[in-house]
Every structure is written in C-alpha cells, then in structure tokens.
Structure 1
C-alpha cells in the first residue's frame, strides 16, 4: 500500500513565456505556490516522510534556485541580453510555463533531491495565481 504526504512552499520570481500570444510574453512575475506530493510505503514510525525532509530537500531547492530570481528559457531570444543585465537570471531548458515548471520539478528535481530515500515525488502543482495552476504527475 502506498501513502502520500503533501507540502507546499511559496516563492516569488519573474519569468516570461517566449512566443506567448498575449501579455505573458512580457517580463513579469508571480507569487507562486508550489505543492509537492510524495509517495512511499510507510516507515517504521508510520509516515511517508517527515514534513521537514520535504522542506529541506524540495522547498529549500526552490528557495536556493528560483526564489527572487528571473526564470528564463535558455532558447529565449532575450536570454543573452537579460543575462548580461542581471546575475539573478536562471536559464532553464524549457519555456517557463507553470506546466513546464511542474514537469521539471517532478521529472528532474524530485529524483535528484530525493535520491537515497524510498520516497518519490509523484505530483507537483504550480499555482501561478490563486486562480490558475498547472500540475504534472509522474
């Protein structure tokens, strides 16, 4: 039997969606809420994972890598110019939509950060606003 544990974390960061047909093509930012859902069999204590471990391994990754930064697709035509202006630009291998951010966290960051545990990040939901969110499931 598999159980799930969830934790969310709030970050603020900027982005732009290259090729977007509307205002999201402009430089802008969000107060994101990122929800992590981890699964595993229960440990000897009766939990999937201690919530503080989700914080230290996944939430703190967000703090260290994306919070108060500007997330930009490495193929964005503005990448060279924006990187030259500010060292807070983080280049990523995907257009930074909420969907792609969730997918990157599930498929790349979760396995990396949870390596050595029996826990798997099976779902990530990225809320761009309180009304709009995107999820990726493993």
Structure 2
C-alpha cells in the first residue's frame, strides 16, 4: 500500500554544544536550524490532502518555537550544565547529546507521536540542516 507524504519547512535559531566532540563543536555555538518535517498517511482527507499545512504549523512548528527557538540545548549529562544554568535561564536539557541526528530522532520518536496522537498522520522523517552544507535525517523504518 502506498503512502502520501507532505513536507513543511521551519526555521529556528538556537545554540548547543556536542560533548566530547573532537573539533570546535565541543564549544558553545549556534545555528539557524532548518527543519524539513515529513508527515505521511495512507489516506487523504475529504479535500484530497494528507493534512492542511497549517495544522503542522500550529502543532509542530509552534512546539519548536516554544521549546527550542532562541534557547541553548544541552545534554542533561553535560558537565557544563550546572555552571551555565547559573548565568542563563534559557537552557533546555535533553536526554542525549544534542547532535542534529539526535534532535531529528527525538522529534520523530517522541514529539511527533505526542502532538499527532489524535490525527490520522505521523511524523515519519525529519531532516535538519545545521548549515547550508550540512544536514542530518532520521526516518521511521518500514
């Protein structure tokens, strides 16, 4: 059986660091992250759509804006966390090293299912651009 897919693009700006990175990404730095949010369904609605793009915006893009935009994303085990929390209240902790791959996986496996639980769609893939040259993806396997 085939699947219908739609992709919504969304941009946020935030900082992170990758603990134990062998290069300069071990330092605090920021990105203009561009998310490509792929949603899918085996059915179309009565208008012939997977879902209206505004629903993805209202749920998933709003979640990104509210939770990650203009924040510092750090691993909950980052040894710098306690010191940085003393000087910056905009820190968000996550249960993994905040690489682009892990951020994409978290959206697909945790946030998407929660936000879309009452809808006939799933967040099947997230591609995250850190720069115009570098991107990472995570997709649900069939």
Question: What TM-score, normalized by structure 2, do the two folds share?
Answer: 0.95
Asked if 1:130 corresponds to 2:132, the answer is yes
Which of 90, 96, 99 is equivalent to 1:97? 99
How far is 1:84 from its partner?
A: 1.6
CA distance in 1, matches of 2:139, 2:65: 22
Q: How large is the Cα RMSD of the aligned pairs?
A: 0.6
- The CA distance in 2 between the partners of 1:70 and 1:76, in whole Å, is 12
Alpha-carbon distance in 1 for matches of 2:51, 2:96: 30
Name 1:47's counterpart in structure 2: 49
Matches of 1:113 and 1:84, distance apart in 2: 32
Alignment gaps of 5+ in structure 1: none
The CA distance in 2 between the partners of 1:83 and 1:97, in whole Å, is: 20
Counterpart Cα distance in 2 of 1:61 and 1:77:
27
1:111 to 98, 101, 113: 113
Deviation at 1:34, TM superposition (A): 0.5
* 1:77-88 equivalent positions in 2, closer than 5 A: 77-88=79-90
Q: Which runs of 5+ in 2 are unaligned?
A: none
Determine helix, strand or coil for the equivalent of 1:130: coil
1:30 corresponds to which residue? 31
C-alpha separation in 2, matches of 1:83 and 1:48: 42
Which residue of structure 2 lines up, in the alignment, with residue 73 of structure 1? 75
| Aligned position for 1:21 | 22
Give the Cα–Cα distance (whole angstroms) in 2 for the partners of residues 44 and 11 of structure 1. 32
TM-score, scaled to structure 1 = 0.98
Q: Determine if the alignment matches structure 1 residue 5 to structure 2 residue 10.
A: no
Segments ≥4 residues shifted beyond 2 Å:
none
SS at match of 1:14: strand
